[in-house]
Structure 1
Amino acid sequence: MGDQPKYSVSVAGVVIDEAGHVLVIQRRDNGAWEAPGGILEPGETFEQGVIREVREETGITVEVERLTGVYKNMTRDIVALVYRCRAASGAAEPSDEARRVLWVVRDDVDSLMTPAFAIRVHDALADVPASRAHDGTDILERS
């Protein structure tokens, strides 16, 4: 039993405003652009984690609408659940974890983010939840 794999579970919120803009952050640790999110804490539901992470990283309080995708980073054994959210209150501002916080149009997502993270935004704007694997940068082919 000691050989059981160890996985990390994270959550992220793709926050869409009334004009259709997407809230994105530039991480302080590596400079990458992503939807706000992070590791789920013990005793926290997925939705509670999304609300907490978005608020901590951006200053925005959100309402969670629906699950839009499940993603596995195959190189780091991280499973991420991504939710579509809408802003309820607050103003977007940098934080200890986010160097920059921006509202962007959908067309800017692909130029800012790696494919593994841009696809999460596109999936959140689609009607059907997705299930995908990636290597931290690129989406892996389904087998």
Structure 2
Amino acid sequence: MARTDYFHDPDAPPPNGIAIAVSAFVLNETGELLMIRRSDNGLYAIPGGQLELGETLARTVVREVDEETGIAVEPTGVIGLYSNPAHLIAYDDGEVRQEFSICFRARPAGGELHTSSESTEVLWVAHADLDRLSIHPSIRLRIRHGFEDRREPFYT
């Protein structure tokens, strides 16, 4: 399914839904960040996805990171709660969601990198190389907050 992100765009369609989603800020032992290139919009992002019925948020993080990247993770904390109504996500089936995502910090616990139907590329990226990647502003904000190692979670 194709996806279009609108960010502070007056021409964005009106939202008609919201979904609970998670994302994961995962650093390896050398300080590189786990990233995917999304298959639905071609942008680079930290892995994540939607909560399924019967799941905890922590289990969603573990499942989504494994599905999208092949890496098993252990959630270790919350970086922030992101619910910016100026960030709308439109899908080709007519759904237009307001952003709502809880970003977790997690540590890798095994696995091997692989792509999936949701990721065309999976890679570990050095902090200094992030500016070279095409990353949506809302994901850049989560990444910045992850590297800041804040005491308290961010929230909007």
Shift of residue 82, structure 1, vs aligned partner: 0.4
Deviations 1:95-136 (A, max 9, x none): 11100001001122243212211111121222232113xxxx
What residue is the counterpart of 2:52 in the other structure?
Answer: 41
Shift of residue 52, structure 1, vs aligned partner: 0.2
Q: Provide the C-alpha distance between the structure 1 equivalents of 2:67 and 2:82, rounded to a whole number of angstroms.
A: 22
Could you tell me the percent identity over the aligned residues?
38
What residue is the counterpart of 1:55 in the other structure?
Answer: 66
The unaligned stretches of length 5 or more in structure 2 are 1-15, 89-96
What residue is the counterpart of 1:130 in the other structure?
Answer: 154
Secondary structure of 1:18's counterpart equals coil
C-alpha contact 1:109 1:121 (8 A) present in aligned 2 = no
Which one has more relative contact order, counting CA pairs under 8 Å at least 6 apart?
A: 2
Q: Does 1:66 find its partner at 2:77?
A: yes
Q: Does 1:16 find its partner at 2:27?
A: yes
The unaligned stretches of length 5 or more in structure 1 are 133-143
Q: Provide the C-alpha distance between the structure 1 equivalents of 2:20 and 2:73, rounded to a whole number of angstroms.
A: 20
Q: Provide the C-alpha distance between the structure 2 equivalents of 1:97 and 1:114, rounded to a whole number of angstroms.
A: 16
Shift of residue 72, structure 1, vs aligned partner: 1.3
Q: Provide the C-alpha distance between the structure 2 equivalents of 1:96 and 1:115, rounded to a whole number of angstroms.
A: 23
What residue is the counterpart of 1:77 in the other structure?
Answer: 98
Q: Which AA in structure 1 matches 2:154?
A: A
Q: Which AA in structure 2 matches 1:100?
A: E
What residue is the counterpart of 2:3 in the other structure?
Answer: none
Q: Does 1:94 find its partner at 2:115?
A: yes
Q: Provide the C-alpha distance between the structure 2 equivalents of 1:55 and 1:90, rounded to a whole number of angstroms.
A: 8
Q: So what's the TM-score if we normalise by structure 1?
A: 0.83
C-alpha contact 1:23 1:35 (8 A) present in aligned 2 = yes
Q: So what's the TM-score if we normalise by structure 2?
A: 0.77
Deviations 1:56-93 (A, max 9, x none): 00000001110101101413323100001111000111
